[in-house]
């Protein structure tokens, strides 16, 4: 039983089923919208309406009282769909423009209209009706009104280029939703969502499984289900792991901010390697933390959403939403990774300075330049004595590298009194100390302090212009016996220590190297 209404078509009354009426209405509307642009469009549609009235009249004379949807469908195929009718006229009006500029413009217009017409009113979905994997490419084909084989070939081609095609395919498969409901199937094909169309889709879907349930089809769908199940399980695990990671990161961040900077408790900023960044540039640290949390959170959200929508609890995300999340995640990764490296650099600096850097210029009570101070601190040098020195380090003329900084003391009147010493923790044994030195005059020594103090004078620099080694000489002290657990070594120009009067305006030393040459001599 169907609801029936009476319509007035060109001054005549007809009985027509409601669904048939809706279909007819829609047909005439679409004719109007496609003819509306051209000259005399309304007249054409009026004429067609008259024709429909005539055909209805014929039906009435055959004894048909109410017009059904089947009749309307017949009439539509007889008269033709809007695109069949307008296409022809469009071709004819096209040749009017002789001017090539106009032709070029109309060609551009044509391409634009072609694209618009092909995608008009359509929504991009994965096509479940014709799919090889996830239906992405046939969905694109339906959307652009092209043959899926083109897209499939392109994908295979691009997959050969380092798997780019496959990667894009997977991204698209995640981004584009599948057309599941009859409504979505209609939107995919660009058809209007009308009761009639919906009914058609439902009928078609009921037919579908009967046609396509081959053994291979069953096998493939079974495999697909296994794959989907597998993906769900894996995703859940990843999601869980990410969530745990997120919790830890959150706890760590909070603890890190609360705990003192140089504490060794796990979760403090310094134990996590963030103290350097905290001191150097707290802003960078803040941006890094936000980006880092986004990198963790977005996949958690996405995977949870996906799992829930696969199990049918919530609606899947729209295309735009997915794209926004993916872009946001990529941006977060691209922010977090380089910042991570910067922070690691800050941390290294922090570790090597071991203490909070300051801008003062005294080192162990002696006033000096910042470079000197940083060098001595980095090298772990202890100043035993430092009087009358113009500077403590210098740069250049060492092994051809003008940028290497080394220890260098200077006084115009040979009055510098300098002794610097470094301690190293070592195992008992016999050691050898090597280093490179140069001095302007006699006096300065290197020394090693194991069980006893061993001194060695620096050879005096012979002032020969153009010497490639710039006066550097390798010196060493052998047989340093260490029976304790540490050794001290260094340079000295202190007369009371070396027993020699300092007669040098300057002296330099670098590249200290300690090697173990043997065990302790056995006591007899």
Query: Counting beta carbons within 10 angstroms of the beta carbon of residue 56, is it exposed (0 to 12), middle (13 to 18) or buried (19 or more)?
Result: buried
- Could you say whether residue 85 binds another protein (CB under 8 A)? yes
Per-residue binding string, another protein, 124-163, x by CB under 8 A, is ----------------------------------------
* Residue 16 C-beta: closest distance to another protein, Å: 16
* Residue 39 C-beta: closest distance to another protein, Å: 6
Q: Which is nearer to another protein, 51 or 422 (CB)?
A: 51
* Residue 45 C-beta: closest distance to another protein, Å: 8
Alpha-carbon gap, residue 64 to 61, rounded angstroms:
7
Strand partners, 436: 474, 510
Q: Which residue in 18, 47, 94, 474 binds another protein (CB under 8 A)?
A: 47
Q: Which residue in 7, 66, 79, 154 binds another protein (CB under 8 A)?
A: 79
Q: Which is nearer to another protein, 47 or 412 (CB)?
A: 47
Q: Which is nearer to another protein, 48 or 409 (CB)?
A: 48
Query: Do the beta carbons of residue 176 and residue 319 sit within 8 Å?
Result: yes
Q: Which residue in 50, 181, 321, 517 binds another protein (CB under 8 A)?
A: 50
Q: Hey, how many other C-beta atoms are within 10 angstroms of the C-beta on 118?
A: 14
How are the residues of the chain apportioned to helix, strand and coil, as percentages rounded to the nearest 5? Answer: 50, 20, 30
- Could you say whether residue 78 binds another protein (CB under 8 A)? yes
Q: Which letter does DSSP use for residue 126 in this model?
A: B
Q: Which is nearer to another protein, 47 or 469 (CB)?
A: 47
Q: Which is nearer to another protein, 44 or 317 (CB)?
A: 44
Alpha-carbon gap, residue 251 to 418, rounded angstroms:
51
- Could you say whether residue 101 binds another protein (CB under 8 A)? no
Q: How far is CA 88 from CA 45, 46, 83, 121, 266, in A?
A: 16, 19, 9, 22, 78
Q: Which stretch binds another protein (CB under 8 A): 47-55, 209-217, 262-270, 305-313?
A: 47-55
Report the candidate in 512, 511, 517 with the shortest Cα–Cα distance to residue 431.
Answer: 517
- Residue ranges in 2-41 that form contacts with another protein under rule CB under 8 A: 10-12, 35, 38-40
Burial 416-430 (b: 16+ CB within 10 A, else e): bbbbbbbeeebeebb
* Residue 236 C-beta: closest distance to another protein, Å: 53
Q: Which is nearer to another protein, 85 or 168 (CB)?
A: 85
Q: Which is nearer to another protein, 11 or 365 (CB)?
A: 11
* Residue 213 C-beta: closest distance to another protein, Å: 32
With H, G, I as helix, E, B as strand and everything else as coil, classify residue 431. strand
Alpha-carbon gap, residue 222 to 280, rounded angstroms:
57
* Residue 97 C-beta: closest distance to another protein, Å: 17
Q: Which is nearer to another protein, 95 or 463 (CB)?
A: 95
Q: Which residue in 2, 13, 29, 43 binds another protein (CB under 8 A)?
A: 43
Q: What residues have CB less than 8 Å from 288, skipping those under 6 apart?
A: 277, 335, 336, 339, 340, 343
Q: Which is nearer to another protein, 11 or 260 (CB)?
A: 11
Q: Which residue in 51, 131, 377, 449 binds another protein (CB under 8 A)?
A: 51
Q: How many helices (H) and strands (E) does the chain have?
A: 16, 15
* Residue 58 C-beta: closest distance to another protein, Å: 8
Q: What residues have CB less than 8 Å from 148, skipping those under 6 apart?
A: 130, 137, 138, 140, 141
* Residue 147 C-beta: closest distance to another protein, Å: 16
Strand partners, 435: 475
Neighbour order of strands in the sheet with 12-17: 4-9, 12-17, 66-67
* Residue 105 C-beta: closest distance to another protein, Å: 22
* Residue 177 C-beta: closest distance to another protein, Å: 36
- Residue ranges in 290-329 that form contacts with another protein under rule CB under 8 A: none
Alpha-carbon gap, residue 502 to 98, rounded angstroms:
102
Instruction: Count the residues in the chain.
Output: 524
Report the candidate in 36, 53, 55 with the shortest Cα–Cα distance to residue 44.
Answer: 36
Q: Which stretch binds another protein (CB under 8 A): 43-51, 288-296, 300-308, 354-362?
A: 43-51
Number of residues that bind another protein (CB under 8 A): 28
Report the candidate in 301, 255, 285, 397 with the shortest Cα–Cα distance to residue 346.
Answer: 285
Q: Which is nearer to another protein, 89 or 200 (CB)?
A: 89
Alpha-carbon gap, residue 414 to 302, rounded angstroms:
74
Q: Which is nearer to another protein, 81 or 110 (CB)?
A: 81
* Residue 158 C-beta: closest distance to another protein, Å: 31
Q: Which residue in 23, 44, 376, 433 binds another protein (CB under 8 A)?
A: 44
Q: What residues have CB less than 8 Å from 443, skipping those under 6 apart?
A: 414, 457, 493, 495, 498, 500, 501, 502, 503, 504, 507
- Could you say whether residue 195 binds another protein (CB under 8 A)? no
- What would you measure as the largest C-alpha separation in the chain, in angstroms? 138
Q: Which is nearer to another protein, 147 or 519 (CB)?
A: 147
Residues forming the site for another protein (CB under 8 A): 10-12, 35, 38-40, 43-44, 47-48, 50-51, 53-54, 57, 61, 77-81, 84-86, 88-89, 92
């Amino acid at each position: 039983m169907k609801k029936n209404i009476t319509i007035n078509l060109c001054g005549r009354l007809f009985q027509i089923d409601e669904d048939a009426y809706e279909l007819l209405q829609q047909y005439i509307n679409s004719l109007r919208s496609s003819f509306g642009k051209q000259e005399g469009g309304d007249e054409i549609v009026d004429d067609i309406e008259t024709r429909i009235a005539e055909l209805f009249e014929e039906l009435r004379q055959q004894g048909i009282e109410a017009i059904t949807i089947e009749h309307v469908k017949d009439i539509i195929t007889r008269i033709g769909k809007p695109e069949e009718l307008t296409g022809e006229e469009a071709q004819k009006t096209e040749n009017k423009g002789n001017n090539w500029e106009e032709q070029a413009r109309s060609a551009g217009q044509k391409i634009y209209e072609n694209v618009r017409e092909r995608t008009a009113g359509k929504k991009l979905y994965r096509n479940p009706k014709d799919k090889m994997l996830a239906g992405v490419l046939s969905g694109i084909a339906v959307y652009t009104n092209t043959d899926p084989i083109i897209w499939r070939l392109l994908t295979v081609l691009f997959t050969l280029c380092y798997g780019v095609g496959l990667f894009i395919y997977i991204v698209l498969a995640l981004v584009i939703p599948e057309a599941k409901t009859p409504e979505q199937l209609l939107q995919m094909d660009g058809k209007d969502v009308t009761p009639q169309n919906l009914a058609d889709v439902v009928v078609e879907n009921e037919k579908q499984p009967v046609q396509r349930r081959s053994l291979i089809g069953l096998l493939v769908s079974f495999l697909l289900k296994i794959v989907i199940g597998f993906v769900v399980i894996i995703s859940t695990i990843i999601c869980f792991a990410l969530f745990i990671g997120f919790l830890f990161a959150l706890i760590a961040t909070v603890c890190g901010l609360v705990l003192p900077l140089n504490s060794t408790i796990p979760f403090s900023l310094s134990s996590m390697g963030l103290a350097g960044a905290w001191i150097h540039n707290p802003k960078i640290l803040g941006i890094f933390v936000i980006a880092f949390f986004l990198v963790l959170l977005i996949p958690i959200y996405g995977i949870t959403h996906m799992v829930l929508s696969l199990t049918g609890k919530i609606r899947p995300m729209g295309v735009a939403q997915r794209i926004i999340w993916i872009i946001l995640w990529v941006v977060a990764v691209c922010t977090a990774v380089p910042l991570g490296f910067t922070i690691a650099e800050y941390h290294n600096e922090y570790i090597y300075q071991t203490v909070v850097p300051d801008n003062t210029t005294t080192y162990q009570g002696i006033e000096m330049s910042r470079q000197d101070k940083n060098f001595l601190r980095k090298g772990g040098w202890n100043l035993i004595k430092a009087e009358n020195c113009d500077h403590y380090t210098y740069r250049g003329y060492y092994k051809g590298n003008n940028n290497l900084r080394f220890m260098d003391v200077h006084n115009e009147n040979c009055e510098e009194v300098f002794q610097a010493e470094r301690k190293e923790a070592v195992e008992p044994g016999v050691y050898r100390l090597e280093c490179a030195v140069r001095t302007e005059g006699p006096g300065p020594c290197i020394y090693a302090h194991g069980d006893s103090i061993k001194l060695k004078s620096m050879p005096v620099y012979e002032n020969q212009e153009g010497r490639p080694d710039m006066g550097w000489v390798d010196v060493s002290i052998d047989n340093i016996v260490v029976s304790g657990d540490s050794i001290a070594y260094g340079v000295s120009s202190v007369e009371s220590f070396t027993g020699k009067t300092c007669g040098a305006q300057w002296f330099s030393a670098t590249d200290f190297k300690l090697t173990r040459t043997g065990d302790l001599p056995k006591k007899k």
